[in-house]
Amino acid sequence: MTERKDTIFAEPQDIKKFEFDQKVVEVFPDMIKRSVPGYTTIIQGIAEIAQRFVQPNSTIYDLGCSLGAASLAIRQTVDRSDCKIIAIDNSPAMIERCQMIQSSYNFAMPIEVMEADINELEMSSASMVILNFTLQFLPRGHRQELVDRIYDALLPGGCLVLSEKITLQHKALDEHIIDLHHDFKKQNGYSDMEIAQKRAALENVLLPDTREKHYKRFANAGFSEYDSWFQQYNFASFIAVK
């Protein structure tokens, strides 16, 4: 499948709220590679973490799976037919493409791809749960409840991997890091207009938290161990172990 270039915001336009619709799905691999520093490293790291934490006869949940990059990486790396992945997204366009991608591979670990609201999903017997740039799109009032439910669904020794755009506590430093992220996008071919228009579209849609807020949620849910395992600019990935 040929990867299409992201030109969604390349022309002046009336800015509407960002949505994971068919237009985004068509260019999503290019968009995320050029927009999220360290994304490839995070996906590889999730697969390596899975090698250590996936338990026999358990379930891995990929919540907000988009095109299923994390799920695919785990299936390629963890050779277990007694476990399964459940990959969930609420975007019909994402799920349709994700199902097409996943069904084109034949790995030992089965996967079930479904369209659903992760806030209403019943989870159990989980050895690993992935929230890869998903929590930041939920209303802040729903985030602790989801982390609590993930903790309850995890087996002892199971882990949550949470990747997010974060806000730094010190405003001046945060602004410097945001500028570095914008420089990263420019180096990857995005214009100032594209960066500005996408930022406007994501306003009040993507709401980042501080690292400290994430740690507080982990502690409130009951996780015994948690820390960051990756960060580049204002993009970080955390692991929390039950």
Residues annotated in the binding site, as ranges?
A: 39, 64-66, 89-90, 117-118, 132, 199
The residue among 162, 170, 195 whose CA lies nearest residue 181 is 195
For 22-37, write each residue's pLDDT tens digit.
999 999 999 999 999 9
**CATH code of the domain containing 156:** 3.40.50.150
Number of structural domains found in the chain = 1
Q: How confident is the model at residue 103 (pLDDT cuts 50, 70, 90)?
A: very high
Q: Cα separation of 211 and 161, whole Å?
A: 14
pLDDT at 3 over 80: no
For 177-212, write each residue's pLDDT tens digit.
999 999 999 999 999 999 999 999 999 899 999 999
Check residue 58 and give its pLDDT. 98
Parent domain of 89? 39-167+207-241
Report yes or no on 218 lying in a domain: yes
Report yes or no on 227 lying in a domain: yes
Check residue 2 and give its pLDDT. 62
Check residue 204 and give its pLDDT. 87
| Residue 111 CA: distances (Å) to CA of 10, 52, 93, 99, 129 | 36, 19, 18, 9, 14
Q: What is the mean pLDDT of the chain?
A: 96
Residues annotated in the binding site for S-adenosyl-L-methionine, as ranges?
A: 39, 64-66, 89-90, 117-118, 132, 199
For 107-148, write each residue's pLDDT tens digit.
999 999 999 999 999 999 999 999 999 999 999 999 999 999
For 50-99, write each residue's pLDDT tens digit.
999 999 999 999 999 999 999 999 999 999 999 999 999 999 999 999 99
Contact 112, 141 (CB under 8 A): no
Q: How confident is the model at residue 104 (pLDDT cuts 50, 70, 90)?
A: very high
Check residue 7 and give its pLDDT. 93
- What's the predicted TM-score (pTM) here? 0.95
Report yes or no on 10 lying in a domain: no
Report yes or no on 195 lying in a domain: no
